[in-house]
Amino acid sequence: MSSLDAKFARLGAENAPGQEVRQSADDLKSVMRGDTLPGVPVDFSHGDVDAFEPTPGARAAWEAGFEEGGSQAYTEYRGAAVIREDVAASLAAFTGAPVDPVDELIITPGTQGALFLALGATVDRGTKVAIMEPDYFANRKLVAFFGGEIIPVALHYHDDAPQRGPDLGQLEAAFKAGAEVLVFSTPNNPTGVVTPEDTITEIARLTAEHNVTVIVDQLYSRLRYSGESYTHMRACAKRPENLITIMGPSKTESLSGFRLGVAFGSAPLIDRMEKLQAIVSLRAAGYSQAALKTWFHEPEGWMETRIAQHEAIRDDLLKIFRDAGFPTACPQAGSYLFPELPELVVSPEDFVRLLRLQAGVTVTPGSEFSPHTHSSVRLNFSQDHAASVAAAHRIVEMVERYRA
């Protein structure tokens, strides 16, 4: 089983968000400095759905789904037709391009489920896949799992970059080198950078020209800060024939506990994804699907309030890290922040563990997002405002304690 051993060695999940509870801390004692720092523990590895509660009506929609009974428990594998119809209309309006609810949309167990199916439908042994660095850690693991080959493309995200977004020269080179698939997130996870309009247009043109399948993860595309614009590739006039867009209500809308996502786009790919879902998990939990009836139908002003609250936290944390001298890109959308820490006397991975043990602060190590971002950490700042500000100060204090 040695090939399986190798395959699973590449899927290490020890540092993945939420898995920290399985770590031991015995080996850290020799490098530990100082006492614990008091304060409310904050888990920045994911959003806090107690601080930002699920959208109004989601629970009632689940209950109505439960009462509907069998027809809601056993939907088509791609999800209940009536729900797909409503969601497709909302997504067409949101993205500015039509979505056929019958053939162009699938409901999945979370956006993770959508990503898995999309890559499973397009990546086979030897398929070359262009991946941004940094980007969501599962993208690389999924390509490895399906036996594909990663062609990395740098994402320029620092504030002093002449143009934020993927390096278009490297991207075109990847396509010329045989990349058949491109997967990327915008806003980018972990930096919050939104790929700008002219770059999206150019990526759409290039992928159409090179016949590249594009999977674009737009999970956070509803939570956009003041003055930021957003471009949906699927609405570009010239765009690739095979294009899948992924979204879901787990983040901004705090419905992660329902495990819901959607993928929409090219019908032949959606068809493959459904066939795969049939052997992976059958369908997104039937009663959960009913919560999608509330998606894009939040009460008047609800989204504006949620954005304003996140923007206020973003501004406070950004100031704390920048004042401390940590280079930190300003997130344009979503709730991820990716500060770069100075050189420390401990490894970045150990520092992350010390942060949790001594300061009650959980962050995700930058090494999860690319081989070149070891010195950064990712924070999901969808948290209690005061607690997250106090926790950011503790991060700065811990950095000073362990500074090289």
Using DSSP's 3-state secondary structure scheme, residue 359 falls into helix
24 binds a copy of itself (CB under 8 A): no
**Which residue number, 77 or 175, has a Cβ lying nearer to a copy of itself?**
77
Return the amino acid letter for 267.
A
Rg (CA), the chain: 21
Q: Compute the distance between CA of residue 393 and CA of residue 395 in angstroms, rounded to an integer.
A: 5
User: Minimum Å distance from CB 223 to a copy of itself?
Assistant: 18
Return the amino acid letter for 172.
E
27 binds a copy of itself (CB under 8 A): no
User: Minimum Å distance from CB 252 to a copy of itself?
Assistant: 14
Q: Compute the distance between CA of residue 256 and CA of residue 291 in angstroms, rounded to an integer.
A: 11
272 binds a copy of itself (CB under 8 A): yes
The correct pick among 7, 158, 176, 319 for binding a copy of itself (CB under 8 A) is 7
Kindly determine how many residues on this chain lie close enough to bind a copy of itself according to the rule CB under 8 A. 68
Asked whether the beta carbons of 70 and 288 are under 8 A apart, the reply is no
Q: Compute the distance between CA of residue 116 and CA of residue 277 in angstroms, rounded to an integer.
A: 9
The correct pick among 157, 175, 225, 258 for binding a copy of itself (CB under 8 A) is 258
Q: Compute the distance between CA of residue 33 and CA of residue 39 in angstroms, rounded to an integer.
A: 18
**Which residue number, 124 or 159, has a Cβ lying nearer to a copy of itself?**
124
Q: How far is CA 99 from CA 182, 237, 238, 338, 348, in A?
A: 21, 15, 17, 34, 44
Angle ∠(368,337,43) on CA atoms, nearest 5:
75
Using DSSP's 3-state secondary structure scheme, residue 208 falls into helix
The correct pick among 59, 210, 297, 374 for binding a copy of itself (CB under 8 A) is 59
The correct pick among 42, 44, 61, 77 for binding a copy of itself (CB under 8 A) is 77
**Which residue number, 117 or 216, has a Cβ lying nearer to a copy of itself?**
117
- Give one DSSP letter per residue of 149-201, joined into a string: EEEEEEEE-STT-SS-EE-HHHHHHHHHTT--EEEEESS-TTT-PPPPHHHHH
Asked whether the beta carbons of 238 and 208 are under 8 A apart, the reply is yes
Give CA 331 to chain center in angstroms.
Answer: 13
Judged by CB under 8 A, the chain residues 82 through 111 that form the site for a copy of itself are: 108-110
160 binds a copy of itself (CB under 8 A): no
55 binds a copy of itself (CB under 8 A): no
First-to-final CA distance of the chain: 43
Using DSSP's 3-state secondary structure scheme, residue 402 falls into helix
H or E segment and range at residue 139: helix 137-145
Q: Compute the distance between CA of residue 355 and CA of residue 34 in angstroms, rounded to an integer.
A: 12
23 binds a copy of itself (CB under 8 A): no
The correct pick among 259, 353, 356, 394 for binding a copy of itself (CB under 8 A) is 259
The correct pick among 26, 35, 50, 343 for binding a copy of itself (CB under 8 A) is 50
12 binds a copy of itself (CB under 8 A): yes
80 binds a copy of itself (CB under 8 A): no
Q: Which stretch binds a copy of itself (CB under 8 A): 46-54, 85-93, 198-206, 387-395?
A: 46-54
The correct pick among 44, 97, 106, 122 for binding a copy of itself (CB under 8 A) is 122
302 binds a copy of itself (CB under 8 A): no
Closest CA to 195 of 230, 151, 169, 238: 230
Q: Compute the distance between CA of residue 240 and CA of residue 238 in angstroms, rounded to an integer.
A: 7
Q: Compute the distance between CA of residue 124 and CA of residue 132 in angstroms, rounded to an integer.
A: 19
Encoded one letter per residue, x for contact with a copy of itself by CB under 8 A and - for no contact, window 167-196 reads: -------------x----------------
Q: Which stretch binds a copy of itself (CB under 8 A): 120-128, 182-190, 228-236, 348-356?
A: 120-128
The correct pick among 275, 385, 393, 401 for binding a copy of itself (CB under 8 A) is 275
287 binds a copy of itself (CB under 8 A): yes
The correct pick among 90, 201, 281, 309 for binding a copy of itself (CB under 8 A) is 281
Q: Which stretch binds a copy of itself (CB under 8 A): 113-121, 197-205, 216-224, 355-363?
A: 113-121
Q: Compute the distance between CA of residue 339 and CA of residue 32 in angstroms, rounded to an integer.
A: 22
Could you list the residues that contact a copy of itself (CB under 8 A)? Answer: 1, 3-4, 7-8, 11-13, 16-19, 21-22, 46, 48-50, 53-54, 59, 62-63, 65-66, 69-70, 72-77, 81, 108-110, 112-113, 116, 121-122, 124-125, 138, 141-142, 145, 180, 256-259, 272, 274-276, 278-288
